[in-house]
Amino acid sequence: MKYQLLAQEIIAAVGGQENIVSLVHCATRLRFKLRDSALSDIGRLKAQSDVMTVIESGGQFQVVIGNEVSDVYQAIQQALTPPDEVEVTSDSASKKDSLFNHFIDIVSSIFSPFLGVMAAAGILKGLLVVTVTLKWMSFDSGTYHVWYAASDSLFYFFPLVLGYTAGKKFGGNPFISMGIGGALVHPMIISAFKASTVAGGSTEYFMGIPLSFLNYSSSVIPIILASWANCKVEKALNAHLPAAIKNFITPLVCLMLIVPLTFLVIGPTATWLSQLLAQGYQIAYGFAPVLAGIITGGVWQICVIFGLHWGFIPITINNLTIVGHDTLMPLILPAVIGQTGAAFGVFLRTRDAKLKMLSGSAVTTGIFGITEPAVYGVTLPYRRPFIFGCVAGAIGGSVVGYSQSAAYSLGLVNILTFTQLIPPTGINNTVWGALIGTALAFVIATLLTWLFGLPASTKLSTKENKDERCH
């Protein structure tokens, strides 16, 4: 009943169901796309005890709930009638957004639905590396094969998963775009790709046009562009075909048209763009890795506050797909743990029972990569702890950047990310550099907050309350 009541309050405060264009959620936030944000009542939302804060950023109206966001999201979906109405994005609403806001909205809507399982798969990959490094398991064992398949399946079949979520975001039939993604990783296509890499391999043709096969497993950009093109064709067909035949003629035409178009044009173009993006990042990072660590560690949590961190997810995935490793994830780790350290400093320093309980809970969630409870509930309201967390993140990030640490699998950045930083050759200085930089961020943030983070009135609140009761 608690979530149902909160869901009704949130729906009313965002302007009612008719004002909701789309709704998704990430690890801690409800992300609304509203027809008119002026109809929302931010004060009413913030007055709810279960709402941490409200943010308008990236073309989205974001209601920060915390760890119970999934339950609240389900309650809202049940309260909306019919619930599927909020999944379709209106073009008229999108036109009001800037290009950057539209980009953030698209990325967050496509990736947030499977963020949890993506994080779990990345952690499992890291744990497998640890077991092999410690010789608890071998690459040839059946146990390793089963668990590796469980950890790698999501990433290998990214085109299917992204085809579904991108299809929903672009307002089309997600199963059509999912079918297009399946074609990209079909065993026949993978076999053709492997055959094309062998010297003297024959060229295959589509209606007389030579095909250039690429490995699309784990790819991101090709299926997103293909899904967008498919939804444009799908909407045009649905607008002109009779209702009696469009349910099967539209998917038929889309598959016959978009799949070959993807192999001939969209795929090669998107792969070229992916390689260009990866090369550009590598050049920028290689120019000054220490500076990259300082900037990333220092401003990451600010990006999280405004929801801008979603814009970096395609870069991380693209690096892993093209280069085989990613140096951005390790730079984020000190920022996450630094903010957790600031919350821990508040926990150690405060005498206020409520703040101590809140900060203690925030430390627990922060260690596992969810920093919103720490930021909105503990560090940001007192300002200095938040600043100390960012400063500590920058210092730790510089050490990680100097060590040129890299991640070899994708996942939510948290304390378990260390297992994903172990290269195939085993633990080396890049891993130790990440450990030292992250530990440094935690210790610095904790000490600075414990010494200077809280005003005297907060530190002594319990004592003052006792004195007042005595009088």
The residue out of 223, 248, 281 marking a domain boundary is 281
User: What's the confidence (pLDDT) of residue 67?
Assistant: 77
User: What's the confidence (pLDDT) of residue 142?
Assistant: 92
- HEC assignment per residue over the chain: CHHHHHHHHHHHHCCCHHHEEEEEECCCEEEEEECCHHHCCHHHHHCCCCCCEEEEECCEEEEECCCCHHHHHHHHHHHCCCHHHHHCCCHHHHCCCCHHHHHHHHHHHHHHHHHHHHHHHHHHHHHHHHHHHCCCCCCCCHHHHHHHHHHHHHHHCHHHHHHHHHHHHCCCCHHHHHHHHHHHCCHHHHHHHHHHCCCCCCCCEECCEECCCCCCCCCCHHHHHHHHHHHHHHHHHHHHCCHHHHHHHHHHHHHHHHHHHHHHHHHHHHHHHHHHHHHHHHHHHHHCHHHHHHHHHHHHHHHHHCCHHHHHHHHHHHHHHHCCCECHHHHHHHHHHHHHHHHHHHHHHCCCHHHHHHHHHHHHHHHCCCCHHHHHHHHHHHCHHHHHHHHHHHHHHHHHHHHCCCECCCCCCCHHHHHHHCCCCCCCHHHHHHHHHHHHHHHHHHHHHHHHCCCHHHHCHHHHHHHHHHC
Residues 120 and 43 in one domain: no
User: What's the confidence (pLDDT) of residue 337?
Assistant: 96
Highest mean pLDDT among 104-108, 218-222, 393-397, 449-453: 393-397
Task: State what percent of residues in the chain have pLDDT above 90.
Answer: 40
Residue whose C-alpha is closest to residue 322's, from 367, 272, 361: 272
Please check whether residue 94 lies inside any domain of the structure.
no
Least confident of 9-18, 108-117, 235-244, 291-300: 108-117
Q: Tell me the average pLDDT across 441-446.
A: 97
Catalytic residue among 26, 231, 254, 390: 26
Highest mean pLDDT among 20-34, 212-226, 244-258: 244-258
Confidence check: pLDDT of 104 > 70:
yes
Confidence tier at 314 by pLDDT (50, 70, 90): confident
Torsion over CA: 431, 433, 437, 440 (sign): positive
Residues 32 and 113 in one domain: no
**Residue-averaged pLDDT of the chain:** 86
pLDDT tens, residue by residue, 382-420: 889 999 999 999 999 999 999 999 999 888 898 989 989
The total of structural domains in the chain comes to: 3
Confidence tier at 454 by pLDDT (50, 70, 90): confident
Residues 234 and 164 in one domain: yes
Q: Tell me the average pLDDT across 448-453.
A: 93
Q: How far apart are CA 398 and CA 402, in angstroms?
A: 6
Q: How far apart are CA 384 and CA 110, in angstroms?
A: 35
Residues 322 and 401 in one domain: yes
Confidence tier at 212 by pLDDT (50, 70, 90): confident
Q: Decide which of 365 and 462 is more confident.
A: 365
Residues 29 and 136 in one domain: no
Q: Decide which of 327 and 424 is more confident.
A: 327
Confidence tier at 85 by pLDDT (50, 70, 90): very low
Residues 226 and 268 in one domain: yes
Confidence tier at 56 by pLDDT (50, 70, 90): confident
Q: Tell me the average pLDDT across 417-429.
A: 90
Question: What CATH number does the domain containing 53 carry?
Answer: 3.30.1360.60
Residues 327 and 217 in one domain: no
Please check whether residue 444 lies inside any domain of the structure.
yes
Residues 272 and 346 in one domain: no
pLDDT tens, residue by residue, 358-373: 899 889 888 988 888 8
pTM metric for this prediction: 0.73
The residue out of 254, 281, 308 marking a domain boundary is 281
Please check whether residue 260 lies inside any domain of the structure.
yes
Please check whether residue 468 lies inside any domain of the structure.
no
Please check whether residue 95 lies inside any domain of the structure.
no
Which residues are CB-contacts of 161 (< 8 A; sequence separation ≥ 6)? 114, 154, 181
User: What's the confidence (pLDDT) of residue 93?
Assistant: 47
Expressed as residue numbers, the domain containing 18 is 3-80
Confidence tier at 86 by pLDDT (50, 70, 90): very low
Residues 189 and 270 in one domain: yes
Highest mean pLDDT among 189-198, 412-421, 429-438: 429-438
User: What's the confidence (pLDDT) of residue 459?
Assistant: 53
Residues 146 and 267 in one domain: yes
pLDDT tens, residue by residue, 131-177: 888 888 888 899 999 999 999 998 899 899 999 999 998 989 999 99
Residues 75 and 149 in one domain: no
User: What's the confidence (pLDDT) of residue 299?
Assistant: 93
Is position 26 annotated as part of the catalytic site?
yes
Q: How many CB atoms lie within 10 A of CB 118?
A: 21
Please check whether residue 461 lies inside any domain of the structure.
no
User: What's the confidence (pLDDT) of residue 331?
Assistant: 95
Residues 136 and 227 in one domain: yes
The residue out of 281, 302, 324 marking a domain boundary is 281
Confidence check: pLDDT of 327 > 90:
yes
Confidence tier at 207 by pLDDT (50, 70, 90): confident
User: What's the confidence (pLDDT) of residue 90?
Assistant: 44
Q: Tell me the average pLDDT across 97-107.
A: 73
CA distances 364 to 168, 339, 358, 373, Å, are 34, 12, 10, 10
Q: Decide which of 13 and 94 is more confident.
A: 13
Please check whether residue 353 lies inside any domain of the structure.
yes
Confidence check: pLDDT of 62 > 50:
yes
Which residues are CB-contacts of 136 (< 8 A; sequence separation ≥ 6)? none
Please check whether residue 354 lies inside any domain of the structure.
yes
